[in-house]
Amino acid sequence: MAQAAVAHVEGQQHPIKLYLVVWGWLFVLSTCSYLVDYFGLHGYLRWSLILLFMILKAGLIVAIFMHMAWERLALMYAILVPPVLVLVFVGIMVFESNYTLFTRIIFFGPGP
């Protein structure tokens, strides 16, 4: 909190080293997610690794590069909570597409 108070004297002031470290981590994580495809991992291992690296990368970008980690909670929650609700939409559409697939298989023959 003391740091947050100082940071707003003029905008955000952080050491350049922090950005370089995050940059390095983003490179490492991107390489990892590329290697998932390169080594042809499949099934739940592939999907969970893709999601893990994606969330870590997204978190680093939002928290450090976009300075969200140093903002007040009022802004943080106002911006970060609504996208989480998209997951409800995802759930609805998963349900919907399973139904569409089901009817297609019933009426047009076997699926993949």
Partner 1 sequence: MADVALANTGAAPTRPSGWQGIAADWSSDQRAFKNVSWGKAMMWIFLLSDTFIFSCFLLSYMTVRMSTTVPWPNPSTVFALTIGGTTIPLILIAIMTFILISSSGTMAMAVNFGYRHDRVKSAALMLVTAAFGATFVGMQGFEWTKLIMEGVRPWGNPWGADQFGSSFFMITGFHGTHVTIGVIFLIIISRKVLRGDFDREARGFFTSRKGHYEIVEIMGLYWHFVDLVWVFIFAFFYLW
> What are the structure tokens assigned to 49, written together?
């690794």
- CB 86 → partner 1: shortest distance, Å? 5
Q: How far is CA 73 from the centre of its chain?
A: 19
Quick one: residue 72, left, alpha or beta (phi over 0 = left, psi -120 to 50 = alpha)? Answer: beta
Rounded to 10°, the helix 16-38/43-60 angle is 160
User: Does residue number 111 form part of the binding site for partner 1 (CB under 8 A)?
Assistant: yes
- CB 100 → partner 1: shortest distance, Å? 4
Task: Count helices and strands (H / E) in the chain.
Answer: 4, 0
Among 30, 32, 43, 45, binds partner 1 (CB under 8 A): 30
User: Does residue number 101 form part of the binding site for partner 1 (CB under 8 A)?
Assistant: yes
Among 14, 45, 48, 69, binds partner 1 (CB under 8 A): 14
Among 3, 43, 48, 67, binds partner 1 (CB under 8 A): 67
Give Rg (Cα) of the chain. Answer: 20
From residue 75, give the alpha-carbon distance in Å to each of 24, 71, 80, 82: 28, 7, 8, 12
Among 45, 48, 69, 93, binds partner 1 (CB under 8 A): 93
User: Does residue number 66 form part of the binding site for partner 1 (CB under 8 A)?
Assistant: yes
- CB 56 → partner 1: shortest distance, Å? 10
- CB 6 → partner 1: shortest distance, Å? 9
